[in-house]
Amino acid sequence: MTLRIEKPGLLSSFQDKGRWGHQHLGVSVTGAMDVQAHHVANLLVGNERDWATLEMTLIGPTIQFEKSCCISLTGADMDARCDGRRIVPYRPILIQAGQTLKLGTTKTGARTYMAVHGGFNLPVVMGSQSTYLRAGLGGWQGRALRKGDSIDINRSLPDDTAMLKDLAERIWQQSIYLPSVIGQLTGRKSLVRIIRSHLWGEFTPDSCASLLATEWRICTESERMGYRLEGPRLEMAQSRQMISEGAAFGTIQVPGSGQPIILMADRQTTGGYPKIATVASVDLPILAQKKPGDLVRFTLIDHSQAQRLDAVREEAFAVLRVDMARVRQLLSEALEPETIEQKGIAIEPEA
């Protein structure tokens, strides 16, 4: 085992891109809440961007490393310290065997992501390593981390202090350019872009105007499944029976209370409440980094604008992956001889 959990934090679970293709069976997609921070964490340590990372919410864990490895931390700032030394976020960092990583309470944002070079050794359940907490499925034993858990990783570095020091220096000297579109601290933003739903015109004009003019407060009854918003009551011009439809990450539905709910990563597979709009996927990380009590505002864009924003972000991810080639090479040259193939771990080879 290479990572021992001394303190679990408030809610720490492994997440990847999610469990797609099983919604017709009632299985939630789940996956990382802040997909952007999740992708960047992986790319910074030379992983494929969809590999599982450790998602830590509001209060981080304390982790003792029994093997040396390379990690990165992205998303919310949890004042991470390794043996008391401040860890710089959004950089690949070498951790030596025996060192302890301690994460505190978030200052800005709600969720921090930790990736480790080579990935975590977790079972693949229905095509994903994500933890579906409500069903006790996937991730580490289908649950959030607890004190005493021991997690293995797929690649570790030799316990050679001199070599690790030299490697750390060579990695630190690598210039890493984070395009602003993916390197931004989304927890500081509050304006979220949305797209009208096909039912937009069935809501009263006042309700549509209120959705865009209001500063909505995120309620305490908000978590990975959905965010409840507090503000003026939204109503349809004429109530009618709705047929349940597939639920998407970012759908804004309006139940009978008139208070909107935004469906998040652990959303149900279908929903029967009327949908007034959907959050543009490029802005979902903003919501993922919001805490109960935080405020958000909405502005409309159209579908083609949302697609262009997505395309720009995809290009930025591609650029970052190319930029990390030298770091991948340095880490690959330093790996312990025991490889992924020797361990028999089913995981995609590094490109």
Q: What is the CATH number of the domain that holds 270?
A: 2.40.100.10
Considering the domain architecture, whether residues 111 and 202 belong to the same structural domain is answered as no
Instruction: Give me the phi and psi of 25, to 5 degrees please.
Output: -100, 0
Contact 186, 226 (CB under 8 A): no
**pLDDT of amino acid 335:** 80
Residues in the chain, pLDDT under 70: 1, 184-186, 336-351
Considering the domain architecture, whether residues 103 and 245 belong to the same structural domain is answered as no
| CA Rg value for the chain | 21
**pLDDT of amino acid 1:** 63
Last residue of a domain, one of 176, 206, 230: 176
Strands (E), 210-336: 216-218, 226-230, 245-246, 251-253, 261-263, 270-271, 275-279, 295-300
Considering the domain architecture, whether residues 261 and 229 belong to the same structural domain is answered as yes
Considering the domain architecture, whether residues 10 and 140 belong to the same structural domain is answered as yes
Enter the tokens of residue 327. Answer: 């770091």
Number of domains in the chain: 2
Last residue of a domain, one of 176, 201, 227: 176
**pLDDT of amino acid 47:** 96
Strands (E), the chain: 3-7, 11-15, 53-57, 62-65, 69-75, 81-82, 85-86, 93-95, 100-102, 111-116, 150-151, 191-196, 216-218, 226-230, 245-246, 251-253, 261-263, 270-271, 275-279, 295-300
**pLDDT of amino acid 107:** 84
Considering the domain architecture, whether residues 13 and 139 belong to the same structural domain is answered as yes
Domain annotation covers residue 346: no
CA 40 to chain centre: 10
**pLDDT of amino acid 108:** 86
Q: Model-level pTM?
A: 0.93
Considering the domain architecture, whether residues 119 and 151 belong to the same structural domain is answered as yes
* 3-state SS, residue 15: strand
Between the alpha carbon of residue 98 and those of residues 64, 68, 83, 161, 307, the distances in Å are: 7, 8, 9, 12, 46
Domain annotation covers residue 123: yes
Domain annotation covers residue 335: no
Domain annotation covers residue 91: yes
Considering the domain architecture, whether residues 162 and 205 belong to the same structural domain is answered as no
Domain annotation covers residue 132: yes
Domain annotation covers residue 14: yes
The DSSP letter of residue 84 is T
**pLDDT of amino acid 95:** 96
Domain annotation covers residue 332: no
Considering the domain architecture, whether residues 16 and 147 belong to the same structural domain is answered as yes
Q: Which range of residues forms the domain containing residue 97?
A: 3-176
**pLDDT of amino acid 213:** 97
Last residue of a domain, one of 282, 305, 328: 305
Enter the tokens of residue 151. Answer: 């997690």
Considering the domain architecture, whether residues 212 and 297 belong to the same structural domain is answered as yes
**pLDDT of amino acid 338:** 57
Considering the domain architecture, whether residues 9 and 72 belong to the same structural domain is answered as yes
Considering the domain architecture, whether residues 165 and 58 belong to the same structural domain is answered as yes
Give the Cα separation of 118 and 177 in Å (integer): 22
**pLDDT of amino acid 180:** 84
Considering the domain architecture, whether residues 133 and 196 belong to the same structural domain is answered as no
Domain annotation covers residue 120: yes
